[in-house]
Amino acid sequence: MNRSQHSIILAVTRAELRKFRRPSFLLTTYGAITALAMVIVAFAWMHAHSAAEAGQTQTMNLITGYQMSLFFLGVLCLCIAANHCAQEYSYGTLRVVLVRANSKSAFLVGKAISLVLYIFLLNAYTFLLSTVVSLFFSERYHMRLTAALPHQHFLKYALTGIEYLLCGFVGTCALGIFGSTLGLIVKSPALAISLGLLWSLIIESALGSALARVNPWLPCVNFESLATRASGVSALSYQHTWMMSTFYMTGFMVLAWVLFRRRDVSQ
Amino acid sequence: MEKSAIVVENLSKSYGARRSLQGLSFRVPLGSISGFVGPNGSGKTTTIRTLLGLVKATSGEAHVLGHHINKPGAYLDRVGAMIEGPAFYPMLGARENLHIFATMSGVRNLNYGELLESVGLAGKGNDKYKTFSLGMKQRLGIAAALVASPDLLILDEPTNGLDPDGITEIRNLIQSLARQGRTIFISSHLLAELEILCNYFVIIKAGQLIFEGYSQALLQSESGELVVQPEFAVDLSALLAIAIRHDFPASIQAGSLHIEGAATYAADFNRWASEDQIYLKSLHVNSSTLEEKFFDMSAQSS
């Protein structure tokens, strides 16, 4: 009895999610994002409070905390994705799972879906956490609620929030796809994570500083800009970041798929 | 013609300039326990990987359970495999690892306790894989190969790292699986173990076949030696005379008569001795071991 591609994809997704569900992994990732998001949001509000007391205009709202946390969330997603893909080679499990899943394409799609779901959950959690922490600080510093919200009406706030969450999710997913591709290329978790961090944190920053005109075309700059809804340091246009991010994401996915399909599984 | 679980025809695989398989052809009969033997680097693992769709052959063809290897999805659901030792997620427990592979295989409602018990890992389901000894990892590897209840089991060094008790347990497990009608294809360097377990052999060297056939054909050839011991040592010279009378080269060694090329004449020799009023204390065919045969064939192919 041959299984259909979609049933294999579903099976792989379920199996991969089971790996994500292990307590030690959940505790590490959610613990890290909780600590970082709380610290970042708290500092942002304390800074805004100091600025308001000094009579300066403050620009904080409930979403600013989430946007500021996205940088670390993106880095975390890159590391998780790179490790998630490369560990199949380093543990030697790829040869076993491919015999079981018996379709390279379905395996890759299932793995990608599980990763995207996990990144979405991380984003949603960070969004909720930063919103709750922001509400707490807005009360603590007696800042007017209207000043803490982008819009006066709840519905508008909800729609704006969803839009920001979507941008954050796509931007961090793009970094995850970048990490996955690196993991599949170099086949080593440590090397894939190192290369990913080196490129996104150091090489792109150096390139952007040395050659300002290449900045709008660099992948991670665009991903970060998209995640923060074009309000990051690069201040690229919203349309441009969507276009470039889509281009790079498609490119990385095609590269990963071609490499994975063509290469022999010799490990 | 006898049905085959695996048919390999003129299979070649090159990694750059290095030729791993050079026109390899063999078959594995359905329902057999087949031993896949060859020195390191002879192409055993490459052959297994090719059969499982992990590596693409440069040329040639192969069929597994009647399906071409170009379409591994058509037969892999019916194949269980342990390739180059066990491979699992170290941070997960034994049961959790098996659950992941079972889920990927589309298998539901598997009795994990029973499966773990069958490979001697009862009560170890929640222990993390990274805490397992080599022998326990091997057992879990075999359990993972069995999750989809396969018709064909391909095992690469299944008894590697096991203690004598473990080897016996795995041997019994493999034999019981074969009795259920499954075909077992085992690659191993433990030739004595394969000799006990297998009824069919495929021997390769440098990516080429040097022997393929049933164990009787390999180990009990007509050129085997007949070893005869008379009841009384004084009759040895008379037995030697009988052997020479029937044109068999023979020699007396340590109280026994060794008759070359007489493996299939045991009954005749017993009768001839009896006719001359000589009674035999023992009579047996001195078959070659798989190890001896393997070295002989390797030397000949060189």
pLDDT digits (tens, 9 = 90+) for A181-225: 999 999 999 999 999 999 999 999 899 888 888 888 899 988 988
pLDDT digits (tens, 9 = 90+) for A140-181: 877 765 544 555 677 777 788 888 899 899 999 999 999 999
Nearest of B1, B5, B65, B67 to residue B34 by alpha carbon: B5
Nearest of B170, B210, B223, B161 to residue B194 by alpha carbon: B170
Looking at residue B113, its pLDDT comes to: 93
What is the set of domains in chain B, with CATH numbers?
A: 4-219 (3.40.50.300), 225-286 (3.30.70)
Helix or strand holding residue B94 (H, E): helix B94-104
d(CA B15, CA B207): 13
- Read off the pLDDT of each residue in A88-117 and give the average, rounded to a whole number: 90
Looking at residue B21, its pLDDT comes to: 92
- Cα pseudo-dihedral A242, A247, A250, A256, rounded to 10: -120
Strands B33-37 and B183-187: parallel
Q: What is the DSSP letter of B93?
A: B
CA distance B164 to chain A (A): 27
- Work out the mean pLDDT of chain A and round it to a whole number: 86
Query: With 60 as the cut, is the pLDDT of residue A56 above it?
Result: yes
pLDDT digits (tens, 9 = 90+) for B47-76: 999 999 999 999 999 999 999 999 888 899
Instruction: Say if the Cβ atoms of B54 and A99 lie within 8 Å.
Output: yes
Query: In Å, how far are A179, B145, B192, B289 from B70, measured between CA atoms?
Result: 31, 22, 35, 38
Query: With 50 as the cut, is the pLDDT of residue B1 above it?
Result: no
Query: With 80 as the cut, is the pLDDT of residue B223 above it?
Result: no
Looking at residue B221, its pLDDT comes to: 59
CA distance A135 to chain B (A): 38
Instruction: Say if the Cβ atoms of B92 and A264 lie within 8 Å.
Output: no
Query: With 90 as the cut, is the pLDDT of residue B295 above it?
Result: no
Query: With 60 as the cut, is the pLDDT of residue A234 above it?
Result: no
A46-55, A91-100, A147-156, A245-254: least confident range = A147-156
A24 vs B: CB within 8 A: yes
d(CA B5, CA B63): 8
Chain B: residue nearest A5 by CA?
B73
List of chain B residues whose C-beta atoms are within 8 Å of the C-beta of residue A11: 103-106
Helix or strand holding residue A10 (H, E): helix A5-20
pLDDT bracket for residue B98 (50, 70, 90)? very high
d(CA B37, CA B143): 23
Looking at residue A258, its pLDDT comes to: 92
Sequence-ordered strand ranges (E) for chain B: 4-15, 18-29, 33-37, 59-64, 67-68, 79-82, 152-156, 183-187, 200-205, 208-214, 225-230, 250-253, 256-259, 280-286
- Read off the pLDDT of each residue in B80-108 and give the average, rounded to a whole number: 91
Query: Taking a contact as any Cβ pair under 8 Å apart, which residues of chain A between 60 and 89 contact chain B?
Result: 87
Instruction: Say if the Cβ atoms of A12 and B92 lie within 8 Å.
Output: no
Residue with tokens 């994975």, as numbered in its chain: A260
Complex confidence, ipTM: 0.83
Chain A: residue nearest B74 by CA?
A2
pLDDT-above-90 percentage for chain B:
46
Nearest of B37, B58, B41, B50 to residue B210 by alpha carbon: B37
List of chain A residues whose C-beta atoms are within 8 Å of the C-beta of residue B47: none
d(CA B52, CA B46): 10
Looking at residue A58, its pLDDT comes to: 64
Instruction: Say if the Cβ atoms of A264 and B103 lie within 8 Å.
Output: no
Query: In Å, how far are A175, A179, A215, A233, A246 from A208, measured between CA atoms?
Result: 18, 21, 5, 11, 20
Q: Tokens in use for B92?
A: 């997960």
- Read off the pLDDT of each residue in B125-142 and give the average, rounded to a whole number: 91
List of chain A residues whose C-beta atoms are within 8 Å of the C-beta of residue B84: 92, 95
CA distance B93 to chain A (A): 10
- Residues found in chain A: 267
Instruction: State the helix-helix crossing angle for A23-53 and A64-90, rounded to 10 degrees.
Output: 160
- Read off the pLDDT of each residue in B1-8 and give the average, rounded to a whole number: 83
Residue A124, strand partner residues: none
d(CA A175, CA A221): 10
- Read off the pLDDT of each residue in B212-234 and give the average, rounded to a whole number: 81
Three-state SS for B132? coil
Chain B: residue nearest A7 by CA?
B106
Q: Are B91 and A26 in contact (CB under 8 A)?
A: no
Three-state SS for B80? strand
pLDDT digits (tens, 9 = 90+) for B155-197: 998 888 788 888 888 888 899 889 989 999 999 888 888 888 9
Strand ordering across the sheet containing B250-253: B250-253, B256-259, B225-230, B280-286
Chain B: residue nearest A15 by CA?
B100
Say which of B55, B84, B104 has its CB closest to residue A100. B104
